[in-house]
Each structure stands twice: as structure tokens, then as C-alpha cells.
Structure 1
Amino acid sequence: MRHTHLWAVGATTATALVLTVTGPAATAGAAPDPARRTLPAGDGWASEGTGTTGGAAAVPSRVFTVTTWEELRAALAVPGTEPRIVKVKGTLNATAAGCSAFEAAGYDFERYLADYDPAVWGHDTEVSGPQEDLRAASASAQGKAIKAYVPANTTIIGVGGNAGITGGSLQIQGVDNVVIRNLTLESPLDCFPQWDPTDGATGAWNSEYDSMVVYGSTHVWIDHNTFTDGAHPDSSLPRYYGELYQQHDGELDIVRGADLVTASWNVFADHDKTLMIGNSDSAGATDRGKLRVTLHHNLFTNVVERAPRVRFGKVDVYNNHFVVPASGYAYSFGVGQESQLVAEKNAFTLPAGTGAGKILKKWKDAPVTTAGNHVNGRPVDLLAVHNAEFPGEILRADAGWTPVLRDRVDSPRAVPALVDHRAGAGRLR
């Protein structure tokens, strides 16, 4: 198969493109191109109905190989909804120029800290004024630069074992039929978090940008990716006003009427608020009957919470491995507004002193099905232990539906070894 290499002209624009053939045509007997892989039938909610093929049927002129963030955005901006494949080589850095490239004229972080110091501003009202306006303008500039919008009928796939994106946010918004595979996605670092003195008793820094957002889209397959905070874990971030200067949001959000999503064989690592399905209790008008998501054979390691947190959706979580951090752990499964979560045959590795009752968290009254799960190699009834450990947060049994779209189901005893060795970027088979 021929490949097209996409070159962006200029440091920050891609309005002029040069397309050149960089690879030979495919020959008989050649190994199948993983970029042409489609989601197997029966593999989670994304296989429902028309299934998910992404750009598998792309003609050679719509197959792009990109090596920079600007080239990626340009490839995705090529007009038309005919199938396209975008192959990522190496690591694309969306913020290579640094935070200063986004700063509005006159913004001064030291001035910001002085203006909104709780000793001066207090905790009763949200911040406002010139420096907050300039912070917001700077944040807007960063947002425009680091977001890449994925069209319908697209496959984005990493080439080899070291392909990925640093500091960028893939936006799968209002489209159908998308495949994202074999990328290491280092969480965007928000250069301009907002101080909210009214958030909790002592205020908090709030940030934007997820590594990937599925927003109002359908038939999305997210497979063999690694989501991580990379070089900037929360432990490396400073504190101001006595609070963590939080520069991370989520790793993956599936929100605003998104539907029919399968996330398989991914690694979600070293993060706080990791994976949210449904972003608001008041979004029933758009989310009710949607947010159908399957999570299987994923590794969640050293994540604090939201693995996932669920509202409204029928969410099937099976055959995942959860390696819980030794400190700071909040919960794995967040049971939220009108959710119907089924969690079966997962494996949990808990440190000493962490009870299995914490795996479930009740946010709102909603039924949940748990069956066949293992904790530290032994069968545990997650619902029973939660209700015994947290009698003030009793959860109801039976999510009210039975998943059938399961391509393979493994014994929970085999899950840790299987998932730990096969999930994540660079491990396509």
C-alpha cells in the first residue's frame, strides 16, 4: 500500500500542503496493515449496528503519515468524510514552544497570585478582574492550539512502539465511525489553571483539557493506547495558596450524548480523575438512552478515581486489571445518576490496608451488577463488601440488563498476567 506523507508549511499553520508518496504499493503475501483493522463483530458496544471500521477503506490518497502536531491537524482538516487513515510516527508535541507562546500580553502569574491571594481576596466570591481576564485569554489561546478535531470515518494509529502525542487533546466531537490505536497519550498540561476560592472550604485550582474526549459521537473504538501523565505527574506539580496547582483534567471523557464506544487493551496510568462517562447529573435530555460503553482488557494502574465514573449509560466493564495505589486511592467504579453499570470478571490488586469496599462509590442511587470479580487473586462480592463497609451508602443490586457484545471473556484469575503483558501502546498483535 502507498502512504502519503503530509508536510505542514510554517511553524503554526498548515494551509499549504505538499503530498508525496513515501512507501511502495502493497505486494501479495505482505503482512496485513494494522491501520486497516476494523473492530471485530461482537466486540463491545461499538460493534452494535453498523459496527466500527474507521478509515479502513481509505484510498491511497487519503492515507497520511505525520511526524509533527501541525501535520496531524492538517491531515485531519483535509476536506471530506471519505475514509482516511492517519499514521503517527514518533511523538508529536502540541506544546513544543512552551506556555509562553500562549500568554496574552500583560498576563503576569506573579501578579495573578498577588491579586487573588485568599488573604486579600477571600473565599466568598469567584475571581474577576484584569489578571483573570488575561488568564482566560491565555487559556483560550492554548485550547485552540492543542485541540485536534477528528472527522468521521477516520483511523489514527501509531507506527511502531514509540508513537504518541504530548500535550495535545484529541476531540472526537459530533461524528461517527472513529478508530484510535497504538498511541501513547501524555496528558495535556494546562498552562493557565483557574483559581476558584469558592471550591470547597479552602479553594482549589481547576484545569482543562483531556487527552481524548468523545463528545456526542458514535461508533468509536479506542484500542491499545497508553494514557499517562508522563513527565508531569501530580506529585511534580507545585502548590500555591496551600493547594495543589492542578494542571491535569481527565485522561478520557465520554460525554454529551456519546454512544456505542469500545475501549479495549488500553493502559490508564498515574492519574487522578481518569475516565468519566457522562459529565452532568442534569444532562438527561441528551444522555438518557446513550452513553453505552464497553471497557475490557484495560489496565488501570496507580489511578485515584473514575475508573470509570458513570452517569446514565449502560456500561459494561469486564476483564480489566486495577492496580490500586498505596496511598490516596478514592474508588474505582463511581455509580452515578441513572447509571446501569455491569462490572464482571475484573481483577483488583489492592495494597495492604485498603478494603475492597472502596472499589465501589455511590454518588447517586442507581443499581449495579457485580459478579465474578477477584481481589488479590480471590473471589469477592464487591457489592456485598461495599454495603457492609459503608452502611450509609448502600447500593442496589441488578443493573437491569445483560451484556451480550463480548468478543472474548477470560477468567479473572488470568486477567492480571494477560492484561499487564498485552495492554497499551506498542503491543499490537
Structure 2
Amino acid sequence: MRRRLSRPAVAAPPWSGTGPGARRLRFWPAAVVAAVVALAGALLVPTAQAAIACRITYTVASQWDGGFGANVSVNNLGDPVNGWRLTWSFPAGQTVTQLWNGSFTQSGSQVTVTNADYNGTLASGASASFGFNGAWTGSNPVPTSFALNGVTCSGSANPSPSPSPSGPNPSPSPSPSPSPSPSPQPQTGLVGWATQGGGTTGGGNASPTTVNSLSALTSALSSGSAAVIRVSGTINCSGMLKVTSNKSVIGNSGAAIVGCGLNVTNASNVIIRNLTFRNWDDDAINVQYSTRVWIDHNSLSNGYDGAIDVKRASDYVTVSWNRVSSHDKTMLLGHSDDNGAEDRGHLRVTYHHNYFDGTNQRHPRVRFGNPVHVFNNYYRNNGGYGVASTEGAGVLVECNYFENVADPYHLGEASSGPGTLVARNNQKVNSGAGQTGGSVATIPYSYTCDTPSQVNSIVSAGAGAGKINI
């Protein structure tokens, strides 16, 4: 924290990003990565003519050996619902291991998810979303039938008399809309390094506590128990507020932390989502001596030092769907050249779908971590540089969109010696060639690269606070 460096020019070595340590990507077919399942129903209540009708979107956001992450959207097409229960059966013995934005039970193959206390009311046409991580063996086919409050969903407000798919009419899936949609929904679940080491669930299914004052927020963050902390309104503060283990810190609509930042130190299993940070006087989010941290869908601007810094042997971190603007030093990974004894073998971080909008440098600036994964980010009008790999770090830079960035990535930075960097499948518009060299360790998790030429529209539409239902 509070470290400023200036960067001299760096000479570019020859490119050699396909060495023996370079990995092969596993791309999962689109049929596995996303599926929209529509089934049907209407329920007439004898005295009120109330009808339930619904559409369910079930998306596999990421998949790895034995595990996967999924997002589910419940769209109410019928009369208003006050309290919902969604049920389905897994076709191949899959299990839910952790879930957010709701609670779940599972008996055999049947899963039941009920709403959280803040997303149980669905007006006609409204939606609620939840996500989960699961386990599978053999195969991971998507469920084909869902029921909302006991009524099978059809994707239509009109009851469908033919739930059986055995007939010749192929109408059950009439919406094969092409996947290059600007909606970021396919990868809003947890992806990347924070899925490793046991995964990241934050406060899990703890009953949410809403805070709207500095004293209430400070108390909730320091609790020794697992907690889901919902921040409401604007909280003004200074310095750094310590975040302890097993916490989900989630902003309600419009929530902002102004003047200070969150310090995740000596902690594990922390989620920070949907918050706006402004005018912090140190770092906005600092992670040190901590593991299994997910920083997602935040907006950050006009601060003093780092927007999101990760340092001091921290590990298993995902930084996703954040928007940073009007700021200089954005994301530092590894704080000092002389901290290698502590940091080597750690500092494994995934940066994906972040929007670096007119920021200057450190997107990220990396020391020691290998492999660090930088994919599907949108770089726009960055005055200094995009990515720097230094001090023996190994960084994979792929499927990003660079627009008006003269120096998209390079090796070494200021007094820091070079690391290695492999770049592939990046889209560059009015941007420099970049500098690469060496090889990078294998990425252990599965993920999906969006089409690089579409990343600017996907990320600008979906990054930042207020761009996700939480």
C-alpha cells in the first residue's frame, strides 16, 4: 500500500510463448457451457385465478475435472409470487456442493432451492438468479425439467399440454439464439483460481445482515462467525476496515463505500461483490496473507493507491467483472521485489471480464505468481501499460480486447526484473504489439474464452456494480 513507481522504457525480447510449460486449453462445447431449459405449466387456484408460469435458464459457467459452476435464472411469467421454491432432478448423479443467493437441500438426484429473504418476491415478468458449485462423475448433462412452487415451467404464460418430448414436434426448444449475445450472464458464476483449494463460498447460507452505518459495517466485518453482510446506502469512512474469514460483503442497489477500503488480511473464504468504492485514502481492496477470495462486480474510481491489490503470500483469488475508471494504479499483485521467499508458489490469481476504462497502469502488475491468468478483459485508453510480468512471474494473457493501448503487455517494470508472459488470441484496436517471452505453468481449471472481438461489448455491458442480480 502507498507504493509509487515510475517505469522506464523496456526493450522487447523475441517472442517465445509456446515453450514446454505452455498449456493446452480445454474448451467445453457450447451445448455444455450454456443451456436454456423451458418446460411448462399453469396452476389455477380455485378462488383467485392465480397462475404460475415460468422460464428457467440454467447455464454451466465453468467446468473442471469432477466439478462445475452454474448459474440459474428464474423468470416469473405468471401472477406475482411471494416466496419461491425451484426443484429439479440431476440426470447423471450430480450434486450441489455450495450455493449463493438462496438455500438448498438435495435428496438423491432431486434438488430444491428456496429464495433468500431479499429475492423472494417476484412480480409478473421479474427474475431472480442464484449460482452454485457442484460435483459430477462420468458426465454433466443439464437438467431438463424444472418446477416453480410445484408447477412445471414451460417458458410460456400459456399451459403446454405436452410435457413429454417423445412427439415429432420439435417445439420444446424454439430459442436457439446465437451465443454472441452481449449479455455477460454465461460467466457470472465463480471461475478461476478462487474455485481451487476447496472453493470460495464466503458467508454461505448465513442469514443476511443489512448494515447502513460505519459502526454496523465494522462490527459485522470483524465477527468471528460466517456472515452475509449486505451494505445499504453510502458509508463514509477513512483508513482500512478489516474483513475476517467466511464473509460475503454484498452491496444492495446503489451501495457505496467512500473514503476508505476493505482489508482482507489473515483471512480465508471471502467474497466482495456489487459495491462502489470512491476516493479511498489507501487501497480500495487489499488482500494479504489470505486465501480463497472472490472480488466481483465492483465499481472503483478516484482513489489514492491501489484499487485491488493482492500481496504477501495470498493465493486462490479471482478478480472478475469489476470496472475501474479515473484512476492511476489499478491492480498490483506482489508488493515488493524482495518478498520472493514468501510469495513464490503463491499469488495465483485469475483476472477476467474486468473493464479498465481510461486507467493508467497495473492491469495487473505481477511479481512471482505463476500461473497468473488474465483473460477476457477490456482495456480502453490506458495511458501507461496494460499487463507487466516481473520477478519471475508467469502470466497468460489471452482473449482480451485492447483499444487505444500503446503498450498492452511487457516484461519487467521499473526496477523489477522480467518474468515470463504468453499472449494469444487478443484483439487489438489501435494498440501496440506487446512484449512476450518464456512459458507459463499450466492452468488447472476449466474456463471459456469469449470471442475476443466481442469482449469490449460483453464487458462494457456487464462489468461493475449494479450489473448483476444479487
TM-score range, shorter chain: 0.5 to 0.7
Where structure 1 has 5 or more consecutive residues not aligned to the other structure, the ranges are: 1-24, 96-145, 190-208, 234-247, 388-394
Q: Which protein has the bigger strand share?
A: 2
In the alignment, what sits opposite 1:403? 443
1:92 matches 2:235: yes
Cα displacement (A) at 1:27: 5.5
The answer on whether the counterparts of 2:83 and 2:115 sit within 8 Å (CA) in structure 1 is no
Q: After superposition, where does 1:5-404 map in structure 2 within 5 Å?
A: 28=85, 31=115, 43-58=191-206, 60=207, 63-78=208-223, 80=224, 82-95=225-238, 146-160=239-253, 162-189=254-281, 209-229=282-302, 248-314=304-370, 315-325=372-382, 329-350=383-404, 355=406, 357=407, 359-363=409-413, 364-376=417-429, 385-387=433-435, 395-399=436-440, 401-404=441-444
Q: Which protein has the bigger helix share?
A: 1
* Partner AA of 2:271 in structure 1: V
* Partner AA of 1:173 in structure 2: T
1:27-69: per-residue Cα shift (whole Å, max 9, x none)?
54665558985578871001013100000221x3xx3111112
In the alignment, what sits opposite 1:118? none
1:187-232: per-residue Cα shift (whole Å, max 9, x none)?
313xxxxxxxxxxxxxxxxxxx100100010000011111111xxx
1:293-330: per-residue Cα shift (whole Å, max 9, x none)?
000011001111001000001210000000024xxx11
Higher relative contact order (CA 8 A, sep 6+): 2
Q: Helix, strand or coil: the match of 2:230?
A: strand
State how far apart, in whole Å, the 2-side matches of 1:83 and 1:40 are. Answer: 21
Query: How large is the Cα RMSD of the aligned pairs?
Result: 2.4
* Partner AA of 2:424 in structure 1: A
In the alignment, what sits opposite 1:136? none
* Partner AA of 2:210 in structure 1: T
Cα displacement (A) at 1:71: 1.4
State how far apart, in whole Å, the 1-side matches of 2:398 and 2:321 are. Answer: 16
Q: Which runs of 4+ in 1 moved over 3 A?
A: 25-42
1:341-389: per-residue Cα shift (whole Å, max 9, x none)?
1100100111xxx63x454252222211100001118xx8x7xx345xx
The answer on whether the counterparts of 1:187 and 1:251 sit within 8 Å (CA) in structure 2 is no
Distance 1:39 1:183, change over 3 A: farther
The answer on whether the counterparts of 1:175 and 1:217 sit within 8 Å (CA) in structure 2 is yes
Distance 1:372 1:40, change over 3 A: farther
State how far apart, in whole Å, the 2-side matches of 1:77 and 1:272 are. Answer: 30
State how far apart, in whole Å, the 2-side matches of 1:292 and 1:187 are. Answer: 28
State, as a whole percentage, how many aligned pairs show the same letter: 34
Where structure 2 has 5 or more consecutive residues not aligned to the other structure, the ranges are: 1-81, 87-113, 120-127, 136-189
